[in-house]
Structure 1
Amino acid sequence: MQSPLFAYTEVQSDDHYTLQNGQLLRVRLDGNTDCLARKGAMVAYQGMIEFDGEYRSQGQAYARARTGEGLDLMRCSGQGTVYLANLAQHIHVVDVDHEGLTVDAAYVLALDSGLHYDVIAVDSQFGISGTGAYNLNISGRGKVALMTSGKPLLMPVTPDKYVSADADAVVAWSSSLRVQMQAQTSSSGVWRRRGNTGEGWELNFVGEGYVLVQPSELMPPQGAQVGQGLAAQYGFGQQGAHGQNQGNIFTNR
């Protein structure tokens, strides 16, 4: 049998995580280290591999119900090779160290089982209920496989060069960065959104670290259900900028 398909045979590597190609992740299991992967992400495997639904603790269940943020994971264990993918999205392996990583749960494909994650309120001093209000803060030492729609942009943040990005395009950032969420407004239009720009919530990053942005956006958050009533759309009232999220942190342990 001859075919150009033979150019896509298995990539040989002893690393725990290896990119088979830009949209397919190869995970090697040696019987000692497990991998937590997105439910349903397995496309193929070789060897004696077991897949179990990862137990969601009471704290995790509460965080998911309260914020809508969380990880639906399966535990991959045993000896062999597992291939993971999700809708042919681009995959990127990231080393998590002492700085930590904050990421939207929707973009996590897999992570080391030894990593710790909390659900946090991004802009806790304002009661914003729009897209990006809650994310995962991943800490410890290990690897995380992230997904993006298209090839991403990694933007450095320094004390003299801050970054602002659309909340729906941001995938992840260094946990050491200071983050604030705000609506796109101007001094002349503070009581209304900029309907002529089509832009909604944005995230502002200050400090030193990195921001990962993808070339794709979800439905603009101003079109989403945000609290109750028109006032909440502008940050006013009990569902608006009321400080109700202050200090919200939910943990996986």
Structure 2
Amino acid sequence: MEMKKRISLELRNKTPAQVAELVVDNCRSSDGEIEGLTDEFKELEFLSMINVGLTSLAMLPSLPKLRKLELSDNNLSGHLEILSEKCPNLTYLNLSGNKIKELSTVEPLQNLKNLKSLDLFNCEITSLEEYRESIFEQLPQITYLDGFDAEDNEAPDSEEEGDDDEDGEEAGPVGEYDDDEDEEEEEDEEESESGEVGLSYLMKEDIQDEEDDDDYVEEEQEGKEEAADVRGEKRKRDADDEGEDDDDEDDD
């Protein structure tokens, strides 16, 4: 897909002035130039043009708010001064996989005063002797080169880490809320345990009540049977007594 058409699709019914991020990776520019990107994208902060066949940045429009620029896997070999002219507020620049061979090629990046991170992976320049030392010396404003600082400490996953503190939001003292949280957790556990114990107790009570009811029914049934036996025995004795009386009368 052509870059111009891809940019048009990425707008998604928005105007260029409403777009803060634009990704056009893996499309194609007809002559190795940027197409479809204009000065109207004045609010653009992130632009990704990975593997689009760029050989020149001459047609890059003015993007004053652009902070992050992805240009990896293209065919750029020089003329990087256009970046400081058109995108003066860049903080992150990825030029990995381009045809950058000499230290002099990246020298114009000195004018990007806010540049903090630069990637040059898979560029021939990385094979130069003392490559890292030379880049850090030539571009003193950068903190990270190819993902690591001058002391080989890895860059954080996000450049936004720590921004909250910088914006004036103070973090509470360490452990300030730990005791309260622990107490709440203990109370929750106690409530949970007491709830389980209470439920278990109630279940046992119900079971005991049922057993008591069964015992009562059995005892009541046994009582009825015993009463019936007593009544039957009494009737039998009464009948026997009547029979004896009859025999005495006959003898008379």
TM-score normalised to structure 2 length: 0.22
Structure holding more helix per residue: 2
Structure holding more strand per residue: 1
Larger RCO, structure (CA 8 Å, separation 6 or more): 1
Larger Rg: 2
